[in-house]
A = this chain, B = another copy of it.
């Protein structure tokens, strides 16, 4: 009973942290694409909450978490505001903090989506798919709105990391690991894979 409560609270925290970092990332991309103030906020919200909203619509949890209560929406708005405040400094900053932030957001949201899929009794393979949707869906939606083929489909090693992380999480849960440790193992797998992939320039083969 208490374990479930702790686990729920952990999930909420994971979701909030992932949302925050993805809002910062999204706002930076939108500002660079020359959108106006509203466009930047919308793209930040969509980058941050789009994957989670798709996830919730697919499992049938409506209204989606992002629109119920204040926390997620506030955190995304604060992230967008911070990114806008420091937008002009961003050009002087090396690229790597954005990459780390992005990897962190990906891991957090992929784990949150896999957890929710299992909670809704989806099959393990559907849970792995949902991790890819939860982790990369917001970014893909952002790319579509900016009129680009989603980076995740072309060259990025994003969804592959989310899928690998979710697979580790599912297998760890099945092997009897406590949910918290399974989530940690999955998240680490996803984040480390993503960072190494960027560092080494890993790409999936093209046909």
**Could you say which of A3-11, A104-112, A146-154, A167-175 contacts chain B?**
A146-154
A contact residues, total (Cβ < 8 Å)? 56
Least CB separation from A34: chain B residue: B206
Contact of A67 with B149 at beta-carbon distance under 8 Å, contacts A38-B159, A206-B36 already known: no
Q: Are B40 and A207 in contact, with the CB atoms below 8 A?
A: yes
Q: In A105-148, which residues have CB < 8 Å from any B CB?
A: 120, 122-123, 125-126, 129-130, 132, 140, 144-148
C-alpha spacing A31/B149, complex, angstroms: 14
- Which A residues fall within an 8 A CB radius of B? 30-31, 33-40, 42-43, 45, 53, 57-60, 62-64, 67-70, 73, 84, 87-88, 120, 122-123, 125-126, 129-130, 132, 140, 144-150, 152-155, 159-160, 203-207
Q: Are A145 and B149 in contact, with the CB atoms below 8 A?
A: yes
Please indicate the chain B residues that have their CB under 8 angstroms from the CB of A69 in the complex.
123
Q: Are B67 and A153 in contact, with the CB atoms below 8 A?
A: no
C-alpha spacing A67/B132, complex, angstroms: 13
Contact of A70 among B33, B43, B123 (CB under 8 A): B123
Least CB separation from A66: chain B residue: B126
